[in-house]
Amino acid sequence: MNAVSRFTCALAAALALAMTANVSAQAKLETEKDKFSYTVGMDLAKMLEPIKDEIDTKIAIAAMQNALAGGKTQLSDEEADTVRKAFQQRMQQKQAAESSAKASKNIAEGEAFLAANKSKAGVQTTASGLQYQVIRAGNGGKPQATDTVRVHYLGTLLDGTTFDSSYDRNEPAQFALNQVIPGWTEGVALMPVGSKYKFWIPSNLGYGERGAGPISPNSTLVFEVELLEIVPPAAAQ
């Protein structure tokens, strides 16, 4: 659920349960109802956190008190819907602007990093711009782009933030090399079985302008990959 949906679905409930009762932040939680009410308030506050600066709680509380008391609200349902849609559009425009700024920053930081990294000892750069370093050389065969491989890996951003790790799951990953990002398809195909490589993948060989989950647009990616085996075709199927 995005921030706008959280706003439209949870604001009224949050204010009704956590604010209109005028409960102190240090309220005594003596009964199960008290504890549950406080828990609901905590949960809803977390949901509203992304848009807290957009809310004047005094005005929101006044509207909720009017509605709960059966009184006439200052905005009709139609007027409130117009306001809600305008807010949603404004938030979408704000999010798009922030995403664009982040993408521009990422591409600049990635290019600067790769330019400096390519001259470091042991780092090799392919024609596509992929950079890699051999941490441990294996002596097995090299996979083809159509092969399925079994690997252990750690994926991080340039700032060291981990976004994916088979080590954390304590289970190797298995996939066809032609079904992953181009940087992986190219990079893992360089590795003999038994090897461990480190890859620096430019954004155009990763998730590019679209990003993916915790990976923001135009991010340069860092992977440490161990190639455990090339999976036999019958087993892969």
Paired tokens of 21 = 């009762």
Cross-strand bridge partners of residue 155: 164, 223
68 with 124, same domain?
A: no
Cross-strand bridge partners of residue 227: 151
| Domain, as residue range, for 126 | 120-236
Known catalytic residue at 207: yes
Contact status, residue 63 vs residue 14, Cβ threshold 8 Å:
no
pLDDT in tens, 124-176: 999 999 999 999 999 999 999 899 999 999 999 999 999 999 999 999 999 99
Mean pLDDT to the nearest integer, 68-78 = 83
In angstroms, the Cα distances linking 196 to 49, 199, 205, 212, 223 are 42, 10, 20, 25, 10
Instruction: Write down the pTM of the prediction.
Output: 0.67
Known catalytic residue at 223: yes
Paired tokens of 236 = 């892969």
Higher pLDDT, 2 or 44: 44
pLDDT band at 121 (very low <50, low <70, confident <90, very high): very high
140 with 68, same domain?
A: no
Instruction: Catalytic residue, from 51, 55, 61, 181: name it.
Output: 181
Paired tokens of 147 = 């092969």
Q: Is 85 a member of any domain?
A: no
pLDDT band at 188 (very low <50, low <70, confident <90, very high): very high
Q: Is 44 a member of any domain?
A: yes
Q: Is 106 a member of any domain?
A: no
Q: Is 24 a member of any domain?
A: yes
The pLDDT assigned to 113 comes to 96
Instruction: Catalytic residue, from 7, 132, 199, 207: name it.
Output: 207
Paired tokens of 41 = 């308030």
Instruction: Catalytic residue, from 132, 201, 223, 230: name it.
Output: 223
Q: Is 160 a member of any domain?
A: yes
E strand or H helix at 27: none
First-to-last alpha carbon distance for the chain, in angstroms, is: 36
Rg of the Cα atoms in the chain: 26
Q: Is 113 a member of any domain?
A: no
Report d(CA 122, CA 129) in Å as an integer: 15
Q: How many domains does the chain have?
A: 2
The pLDDT assigned to 141 comes to 95
The pLDDT assigned to 70 comes to 82
Residue type, 192: P
Known catalytic residue at 55: no
Contact status, residue 204 vs residue 111, Cβ threshold 8 Å:
no
Report d(CA 44, CA 19) in Å as an integer: 12
Instruction: Catalytic residue, from 51, 113, 164, 175: name it.
Output: 164
Instruction: Catalytic residue, from 153, 159, 168, 175: name it.
Output: 153
Mean pLDDT to the nearest integer, 34-44 = 83
Give the Cβ contact number of residue 175 at 10 Å: 15
The pLDDT assigned to 80 comes to 87
Q: Please report, for the domain that includes residue 146, its CATH number.
A: 3.10.50.40
Known catalytic residue at 163: yes
Paired tokens of 155 = 């994926």
Report d(CA 222, CA 115) in Å as an integer: 15
59 with 132, same domain?
A: no
Instruction: Catalytic residue, from 163, 167, 215, 230: name it.
Output: 163
Contact status, residue 92 vs residue 7, Cβ threshold 8 Å:
no
Contact status, residue 189 vs residue 142, Cβ threshold 8 Å:
yes
Mean pLDDT of the chain: 86
Report d(CA 135, CA 191) in Å as an integer: 11
